[in-house]
Amino acid sequence: MNSFIQVQIRLEDLAKLLECKFKGDPDAQIRHIGDINYLVENKGPFRDNCIYFVNSDKLLPSLPETNAEFVILGNPGVASHFKNVILTESQPRVNFIRLLEFFQSKISNPVNSNEMVHPGVKIPAGTTIAPGVYLGEGVELGANCTVYANAVIEPFSRIGDNTVIHSGAFIGRHSVIGSHCIIYPNAVIGADGFGYIDEDATRYKIPQIGNVALADYVEIGAGTTIDRSTIESTTVGSHTKIDNQVQIAHNCVIGQYVYIAGKASLAGSVKVHDRAILAGGCGIRDHVRIAEGSVILAFTGIEEDTQPNQTYFGIPARKVREMHRIHSALTHLPELVKAARRNRG
């Protein structure tokens, strides 16, 4: 749960702001927002003073039992299961967007008016900052870092010791970069996630209020983009190496010791487990799980969860031996078609 969003509002006041009804304690305090899917994935618990969007009773059996004082934004079908609820009787997803917009308005992301380096930023011993670098308010730099020309580090981002950020790299607000990382030229860490919904002939953008967190010894290739999450954090585990021009969408979770080669593309909420290998140009559908030790060969399209320590190839992907048998059989297809035509004649 992101600690950088500063909110304090009563349940009744937030319901009025969202133009919704509520049930429960009107004085219940809301200070945080949580991702219900993240909570289910990580087996809870609910957090005190936190609001969650639950729009389907299908999630109810997966939710943890808790004594925490939290609030649900949800439809009447789920309201009876919870003490404090803001009711979304119509357009629930639009109400969720309004909730995100409220929290987004509380995120601090000031722009330095005149200085390239905010005067409050401390440059530790051994850290070198090249000309043209932008360091926003609240940026924290570790010791022995190197930041090359024209890199941008937005407000309240944290950079660990011995990390190198090359020219033109962009580090979005509230990002966390570990120690001994290398961010190559023109990489983008913390871009806005690609989230939209269409409701009643109107297109709404879903605010992306989370951040990106990289662990230690991570390398991010030139021109690669990692989108910040909708609510929580898009994460990359330690010792993972990501090549040039890779796309990692919002809410992805990348494990440790993973290799991702150039032009691979991961849609939203993909989870890549430890020591998986994704070869160049492969594409992973949203919400898919790449199991530990899986190998995804070049230009493969993954539509379903993989199995541990298996190799996959093709579009749609199959285990590599099965796909090679299919390709071998296809070489005989023209002869089989000719034979079928002769038999019909």
What's the rounded mean pLDDT across residues 99-111? Answer: 94
Q: How far apart are CA 259 and CA 275, in angstroms?
A: 7
- Give the dihedral sign, CA 332/335/338/340: negative
Q: Of the spans 2-11, 46-55, 212-221, which averages the highest pLDDT?
A: 212-221
pTM (2 decimals)? 0.93
- 193: how many CB neighbours lie within 10 A of its CB? 21
The pLDDT tens digits for 139-159 are 999 999 999 999 999 999 999
> What φ, ψ does residue 159 adopt, rounded to 5°?
-120, 125
Partners of 152 in beta bridges: 134, 170
| Maximum C-alpha span of the chain | 87
Amino acid at 115: E
Considering only residues 215 and 91, tell me which one the structure prediction assigns the higher pLDDT.
215
**Catalytic (active site) residue 250:** yes
Query: Taking residues 255-267, what's their average pLDDT?
Result: 98
Domains, the chain, with CATH or none: 9-104 (3.40.1390.10), 128-323 (2.160.10.10)
Query: Which H or E element spans position 54?
Result: strand 50-54
Q: Which of 32, 166, 174, 250 is catalytic?
A: 250
CA distances from 155 to 2, 3, 159, 168, 309 (A): 15, 15, 12, 17, 41
Q: How far apart are CA 163 and CA 175, in angstroms?
A: 14
Distances (CA, A) of 293 to 41, 145, 220, 290, 308: 20, 32, 20, 8, 6
Query: Which pLDDT tens digit goes with each residue over 20-76?
Result: 999 999 999 999 999 999 888 888 889 999 999 998 888 888 888 888 899 999 998
8-state DSSP, 79: H
Long-range CB pairs of 10-13 (<8 Å, 24+ gap) are 11/71, 11/84, 11/86
DSSP state at residue 242: E
**What pLDDT score does 266 carry?**
98
Q: How far apart are CA 200 and CA 185, in angstroms?
A: 42
pLDDT score, position 1? 59
Query: Which residues lie across from 227 on neighbouring strands?
Result: 191
pLDDT digit string, tens, across residues 287-337: 999 999 999 999 999 999 999 999 999 998 888 888 888 888 888 888 888
Q: Is the dihedral of CA 170, 176, 179, 180 positive or negative?
A: negative
Structure-derived torsion over alpha carbons of residues 186, 191, 195, 201, reported in degrees to the nearest 10: -80
Strands 318-319 and 311-313: antiparallel
* Predicted pLDDT at 2: 67
Distance CA 266, CA 343 (A): 47
Top-confidence residue, 265 or 334: 265
- Reduce the DSSP state of residue 229 to 3 states and report it: coil
- Which pair of structure tokens corresponds to residue 108? 């601090």
Structure confidence at residue 83 (pLDDT):
93
